[in-house]
């Protein structure tokens, strides 16, 4: 009686303290053990009337264990797929950010070549952009000579 209680406590503690890999092995061992019991019942020449019940019970037990292992494997695969998708999305965002920075620098370099000035200095970049916008605004609001008409109203093309 005490030996059975100790054995039960030992099994319980070994399950509670086992790693995930060890738990999978324990489940496989349980399925194999159930199949071995069913096989032995099939081969039993005694003709025990309970043997079909034993075979059915043990095979059902093995099927349940295998179904549980399959479900756990699928859950793990799904978890890994979600994690990898998140990792790939973060990597994509990082690449897009780097490309935007590189394209911006290329655009500044190209604009500097077109304007004929170096745009390395941020303050200079700002002044050039502000001057460019001011020139555009003056060209849109003025007449052919850049001046407002005598009435003070902007020239409307059309």
138 inside domain = no
105 inside domain = no
Dihedral in degrees, nearest 10, Cα atoms 84, 89, 95, 101:
-150
Nearest to 68, CA basis, from 38, 27, 12 = 27
The pLDDT score that the predictor gives to residue 94 is 94
In the chain, the number of structural domains is 1
Residue 96 has pLDDT above 50, yes or no: yes
Tell me the residue range of the domain where 36 lies: 6-91
Mean pLDDT for the stretch of residues 99-117 = 74
128 inside domain = no
129 inside domain = no
143 inside domain = no
86 inside domain = yes
Residue 89 has pLDDT above 80, yes or no: yes
């Amino acid at each position: 009686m005490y030996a059975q209680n100790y054995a039960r406590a030992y099994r319980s503690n070994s399950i509670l303290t086992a790693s995930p890999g060890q738990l999978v092995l324990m489940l496989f061992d349980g399925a194999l053990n159930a199949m071995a019991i069913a096989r032995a019942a099939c081969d039993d020449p005694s003709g025990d009337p309970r043997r079909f019940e034993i075979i059915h019970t043990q095979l059902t037990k093995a099927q349940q264990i295998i179904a549980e292992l399959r479900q756990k494997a699928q859950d793990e695969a799904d978890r890994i797929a979600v994690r990898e998708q998140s990792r790939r999305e973060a990597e994509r965002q990082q690449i897009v950010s780097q490309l935007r920075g590189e394209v911006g620098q290329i655009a500044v370099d190209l604009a500097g070549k077109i304007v004929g000035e170096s745009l390395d200095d941020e303050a200079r970049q700002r002044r050039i952009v502000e001057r460019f916008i001011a020139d555009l605004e003056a060209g849109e609001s003025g007449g052919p000579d850049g001046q407002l008409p005598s009435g003070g109203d902007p020239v409307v093309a059309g």
